[in-house]
Amino acid sequence: MYRAGMAQAAQALIGDSEFDRDTAVTLREPGVYDAELSAGWTIIHAVNGGYLLALLGRALGDALPHPDPFTVSAHYLTPSAPGPAVIRTDVVRTGRTLSTGQASLFQYEEDGTEVERIRVLASYGDLDALPDDVRTTALPPAIPPREHCLGPSDGPAPQIPGSSAITDRLDIKLDPATVGWAVGAPSGKGEMRGWFGLADGRDADPLSLLLTVDALPPTSFELGLKGWTPTVELTTHIRCRPAPGPLRVSITTRNLAGGFLEEDAEVWDSADRLVAQSRQLARAPRG
């Protein structure tokens, strides 16, 4: 299966892609899943929070009677590292249209002690069973055409400082209006916008949207702050199964105060549907 314009590159399919292999979970016993955190999704030295969320989301999708994440609230406890992990799930409630579950991802100390990395509460449903009504008043973000946006290979711009394996697995092209930070001229606005895809061309699904909401550079870069913006809590609503094709992502910060900031993400699909909304509370960088 080839896509026009992708010059002979075979497009990876949902279920058979880097993302799917690296978020695979293996049932160890009822409700408990083994996983391997891939070094391929690290940003600087930390494992990306959206990638971890997708892993937890996959485990919960197996443990719960409903297939799709509708709302996932994650509290980040300790930094994850590439390597083995275990996800322990708990079915909280099963309803007709929604079920609710809890999941924790643990890694191991040298002596084998489990250390909790993230805990999530999530309500799952069936996106394909929802009615067709759309009364969205939000408008898609005004992002220039993809060919006018900038990726890591486009000259001086956006290289995230430090080694970031994840950039090889993502196909992100940022709106030139939000890449001032990469050339030392941040806009001062808490905005980051761009086109998002997976590098192997795999289309989006509800699980990959959990990655997408936390995949762009932080808005704090455009606010002139350098350094790390660790997530305290991230809640994501998946509202619609995304259509094939590239996604547009817009991230906004309106309240940087007291050493914390919020980041609101919106993800729009190629059919102009608002497919995901998220908000996170993060610690502001010191710098």
The residues binding its own copies (CB under 8 A) are 70-71, 73, 75, 77-78, 92-93, 98, 100, 102, 116, 119-123, 127, 130-138, 189-190, 223, 232-233, 235, 237, 239-240, 253-260, 262, 273-274, 277, 279, 281
Kindly tell me which of 9 and 115 has the beta carbon lying closer to its own copies.
115
**Min dist. Cβ of residue 16 to its own copies (A):** 28
Q: Which is nearer to its own copies, 212 or 253 (CB)?
A: 253
Structure tokens at 1: 């299966």
Which CB, 5 or 131, lies closer to its own copies? 131
**CA 44, 70, 86 angle in degrees (round to 5)?**
50
Which of 3/93 has CB closer to its own copies?
Answer: 93
Neighbours of 21 (CB within 10 A): 13
Residue 31, phi then psi, degrees to nearest 5? 85, -5
The distance of closest approach from Cβ of residue 266 to its own copies in the complex, given in angstroms and rounded to an integer, is 9
Least distance (Å) from its own copies to the CB of residue 156? 27
User: At its nearest, how many Å lie between its own copies and the CB of residue 232?
Assistant: 5
Q: How far apart are CA 171 and CA 168, in angstroms?
A: 8
Q: Which is nearer to its own copies, 122 or 170 (CB)?
A: 122
Check if the beta carbon of residue 165 is closer than 8 Å to that of residue 39: yes
Nearer to its own copies, 78 or 159 (CB): 78
Cβ partners under 8 Å of residue 250, min gap 6: 141, 143, 191, 192, 193, 265, 266, 268
CA distance 72 to 176: 31
42 vs 100, which CB is nearer to its own copies?
100
Q: Could you tell me the smallest distance in angstroms from the CB atom of residue 238 to its own copies?
A: 10
Count other C-beta atoms under 10 Å from residue 131's C-beta.
Answer: 5
For the purposes of burial, counting CB atoms within 10 Å of the CB of 261, is it exposed (0-12), middle (13-18) or buried (19 or more)? buried
State how far the Cα of 141 lies from the Cα of 193, in Å rounded to an integer. 8
CB of 210 within 8 A of CB of 54?
yes
**Minimum distance, C-beta of residue 213 to its own copies, in the bound complex (Å):** 13
